[in-house]
């Protein structure tokens, strides 16, 4: 198998003309170009011996850079009996023998040995168009013995490494003295008491609150190992958005576990222990809203909410009718249902009530074109409402239409549409400066489709920026006394809509192995698949850079706009012999057989990849434990292209030709599914 892949994958390393070299003898004098600069090099020759045999330099001698001997990668690896593969796109070199797969990346001090990291003092680099490698790093990674003879300036490599010295065991706390944090209890629901409990399998002897800010509480548990999930997002809380945990080692070699509570806003709380010391309890105190006062000053309505602690309120605007909502979690209140707002100019009515058992909701009805600001301190919050500079526009949320009064005419054919859906907005660019007609500012909508419309005038043109809660399409038409901008679901515009997903991204790298990282490969594959799809398929991407859209939003976008979703992933396993391709799906309750199903889509993609690549066929797999598959109602599949943990699969995945083959296969299968099956 290796010889087959060697014929298929082996490519020539970068070759270029060398600057003049005086001699490969007692002294080497030459120009070295690396890191974008020329460096004059003049030093005694460095010799290299392998098992006593001198390695004769070919087109590039050994040189010393930053005190480390650098050798031409291909020559030294070949002399040591290794296979060499160069990945131009990733700027990576694979060095392979029967025991090791090494991965080196240009200008990166981190290398990989059979998937595990090792560090180098000097990174591999391109010198005079040659890939040069620190020889000590290569020999050590291949488990070879290497010595330096200063008198003869000779690097001596022995292919049978001397017996390793026994490892030095650091002085750390004895294992038996550690406890384990094994449970975090969260509230039963958002209406329950907001209490979080960190529990251990023994008495917690040493813990401290190391950091508190408006958005987090950080607790360190010394002498405690972690048996907790790294992140708990289902907190059943309007105060704590997530609980994060991680195990660390301090400078003295002692293990400790850090627990972080991410807060939605500043809240009053206490931290206590239970009687036997096995639990640490974070309790958020209920805040009492004592009074609300209203006034109008300097053309602004000012609403002051008085309380006995920090509120942590969520403030937002809604339309149809226009209103501003203040939700205050974990609170008690004796406010009247109807609020006295007679002193206010822009607020027509106000009311209060318990939205849930513990969340107080304040609602202030306003005119259409108002704006607001909100601030808090430890004794309450201040809501300020003022007239927007916007004018001559109205939004109808039931029809998803923005009406512009025709105070000044323009040609609708000259309007430009710019889709920035990956950044959450869509721009409708009017052909001239209409700031005197429509003003500038933000029109708060707050429905399921549009969050707000921001009106911006720049470079002689007025832009209507629609901040979206759903990916949308837009059109404009002229009526007798107004312009009508219609917000549409993509399915109302296109016959075929696909959501294409690159798994992981940003803070979530996914799997890794043999020097490859899943989030990078999935993005590369997504871009290649997108480029191959027929133009009659409207494709939306979940990401097109190293960002992290959470899996809930990926599934939600698919359900809102798409006929199907294809999510691209790479696989990994502890058993490094496992390899091949599999495609995951889940049967949906709305699979009637009349339209495309997830299983049909999975089968088409799986067969197409296997036919194109000859990969080990692991088949289609029904999975019920994955959020994207559980959260979607449209046909959705996860394509696990190959295993990063397997050397053979990793070599294939690193090659652009192989990536192109897989991308073509996925695109062909999607096109067949969209052509051969009913979508709606």
User: Residue 500 pLDDT > 90, yes or no?
Assistant: yes
- Kindly tell me the sign of the dihedral angle through the C-alpha atoms of 7, 13, 14, 17: negative
**What 3-state DSSP class applies to 354?**
strand
Please state whether the predicted TM-score (pTM) of the whole model is above 0.85. no
Question: Worst-scoring range by mean pLDDT, 32-36, 275-279, 512-516, 611-615?
Answer: 32-36
DSSP label at residue 421: G
For 108-140, the pLDDT digits (tens) are 888 877 666 788 888 888 888 888 888 888 888
Question: Worst-scoring range by mean pLDDT, 21-30, 267-276, 608-617?
Answer: 21-30
pLDDT at 87: 66
DSSP label at residue 175: G
Q: Do domains 175-284 and 294-375 have the same CATH topology?
A: yes
Q: How far apart are CA 639 and CA 440, in angstroms?
A: 46
pLDDT at 98: 67
- What CATH code would you report for 497-676? 3.40.630.40
**What 3-state DSSP class applies to 407?**
coil
Q: What's domain 2-158's superfamily in CATH?
A: Copper amine oxidase-like, N-terminal domain (3.30.457.10)
User: Residue 509 pLDDT > 60, yes or no?
Assistant: yes
| Domain positions in the chain | 2-158, 175-284, 294-375, 393-488, 497-676
pLDDT at 6: 31
- What CATH code would you report for 175-284? 2.60.40
Specify the long-range contacts of residues 241-248, CB closer than 8 Å, at least 24 apart: 243/184, 243/186, 243/196, 245/181, 245/184
Q: How far apart are CA 419 and CA 425, in angstroms?
A: 7
Question: Worst-scoring range by mean pLDDT, 39-48, 358-367, 667-676?
Answer: 39-48
Contact (CB, 8 A) for 248 and 259: no
Q: How far apart are CA 269 and CA 274, in angstroms?
A: 16
User: Domain 294-375 adopts which CATH fold?
Assistant: Immunoglobulin-like (2.60.40)
Of 538, 537, 505, the residue nearest 519 (C-alpha): 505
Record the tokens describing residue 485, joined without a space.
């901008």
Q: Are strands 416-420 and 425-429 parallel, antiparallel or unpaired?
A: antiparallel
Average pLDDT over residues 182-199: 88
Q: Are strands 179-185 and 195-200 parallel, antiparallel or unpaired?
A: antiparallel
pLDDT at 172: 47
Q: How far apart are CA 332 and CA 504, in angstroms?
A: 41
Residue keyed to tokens 């990945």: 87
Question: Worst-scoring range by mean pLDDT, 52-66, 265-279, 421-435, 454-468?
Answer: 52-66
Across the chain, mean pLDDT equals 87
Half-sphere exposure of residue 439, counting CA atoms within 13 Å on the CB side? 16
Q: How far apart are CA 257 and CA 241, in angstroms?
A: 20
For 427-484, the pLDDT digits (tens) are 999 999 999 999 999 999 999 999 999 999 999 999 999 999 999 999 999 999 999 9
Average pLDDT over residues 347-365: 93
Of 346, 344, 339, 406, the residue nearest 370 (C-alpha): 346
């Amino acid at each position: 198998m290796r010889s087959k892949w060697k014929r298929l994958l082996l490519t020539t390393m970068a070759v270029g003309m060398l600057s003049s070299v005086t001699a490969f003898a007692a002294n080497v004098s030459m120009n070295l170009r690396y890191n974008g600069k020329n460096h004059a090099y003049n030093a005694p020759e460095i010799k290299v011996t392998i098992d006593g045999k001198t390695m004769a330099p070919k087109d590039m001698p050994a040189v010393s850079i930053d005190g480390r001997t650098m050798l031409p990668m291909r020559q030294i690896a070949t002399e040591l009996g290794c296979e060499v593969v160069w990945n131009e796109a990733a700027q990576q070199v694979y060095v392979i023998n029967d025991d090791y797969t090494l991965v080196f990346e240009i200008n990166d001090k981190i290398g990989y040995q059979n998937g595990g990291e090792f560090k180098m003092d000097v990174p591999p680099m391109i010198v005079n168009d040659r890939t040069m490698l620190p020889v000590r790093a290569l020999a050590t990674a291949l488990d070879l013995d290497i010595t330096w003879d200063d008198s003869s300036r000779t690097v001596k490599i022995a292919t049978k490494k001397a017996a390793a010295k026994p490892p030095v065991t650091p002085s750390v706390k004895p294992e038996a003295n550690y406890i384990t944090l094994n449970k975090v209890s969260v509230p039963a629901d958002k209406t329950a008491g907001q209490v979080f409990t960190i529990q251990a399998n023994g008495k917690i002897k040493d813990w401290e609150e190391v950091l508190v800010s408006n958005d987090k509480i950080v607790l360190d548990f010394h002498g405690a190992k972690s048996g907790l999930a790294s992140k708990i997002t289902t907190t059943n809380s309007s105060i704590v958005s997530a609980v994060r945990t991680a195990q660390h080692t301090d400078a003295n070699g002692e293990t400790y576990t850090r627990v972080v509570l991410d807060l939605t806003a500043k809240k009053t709380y206490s931290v206590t222990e239970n009687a036997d010391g096995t639990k640490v309890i974070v309790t958020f105190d209920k805040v009492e809203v004592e009074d609300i006062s209203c006034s109008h000053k300097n053309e602004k309505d000012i609403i002051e909410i008085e309380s006995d602690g920090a509120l942590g309120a969520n403030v937002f605007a809604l339309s149809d009718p226009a209103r501003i909502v203040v939700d205050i979690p974990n609170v008690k209140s004796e406010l009247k249902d109807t609020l006295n707002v007679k002193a206010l100019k822009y607020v027509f009515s106000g009311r209060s009530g318990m939205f849930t058992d513990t969340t107080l909701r304040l609602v202030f009805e306003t005119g259409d074109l108002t704006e607001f600001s909100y601030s808090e301190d430890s004794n309450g919050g201040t809501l300020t409402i003022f007239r927007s500079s916007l004018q001559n526009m109205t939004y109808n949320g039931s029809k998803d239409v923005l009406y512009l009064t025709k105070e000044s005419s323009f040609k609708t054919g000259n309007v430009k549409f710019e889709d920035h859906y990956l950044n959450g907005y869509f721009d409708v660019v009017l052909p001239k400066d209409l700031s005197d007609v429509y003003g500038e500012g933000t029109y708060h909508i707050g429905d399921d489709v549009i969050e707000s419309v921001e009106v911006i005038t720049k470079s002689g043109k007025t832009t209507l920026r629609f901040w979206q809660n759903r990916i949308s399409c837009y059109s404009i038409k002229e009526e007798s006394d107004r312009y009508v901008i219609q917000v549409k679901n993509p399915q109302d515009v296109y016959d075929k809509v696909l959501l294409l997903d690159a798994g992981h991204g940003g803070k979530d790298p996914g799997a890794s192995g043999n020097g490859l990282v899943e989030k990078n490969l999935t993005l590369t594959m997504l871009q290649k698949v997108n480029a191959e799809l027929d133009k009659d398929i409207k494709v939306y991407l979940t990401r097109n850079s190293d960002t992290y859209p959470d899996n809930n939003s990926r599934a939600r976008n698919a359900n809102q706009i798409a006929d199907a979703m294809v999510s691209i992933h790479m696989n990994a396993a502890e058993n490094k012999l496992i390899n091949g391709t599999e495609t995951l799906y889940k049967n949906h309750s709305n699979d009637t057989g009349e339209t495309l199903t997830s299983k049909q889509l999975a089968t088409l993609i799986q067969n197409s990849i296997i036919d194109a690549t000859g990969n080990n066929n692991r088949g289609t797999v029904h999975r019920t434990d994955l959020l994207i598959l559980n959260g979607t109602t449209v046909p959705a599949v996860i394509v696990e292209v190959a295993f990063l943990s397997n050397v053979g699969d990793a070599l294939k995945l690193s090659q652009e030709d192989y990536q192109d083959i897989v991308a073509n296969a996925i695109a062909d299968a999607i096109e067949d599914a969209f052509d051969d099956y009913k979508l709606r």
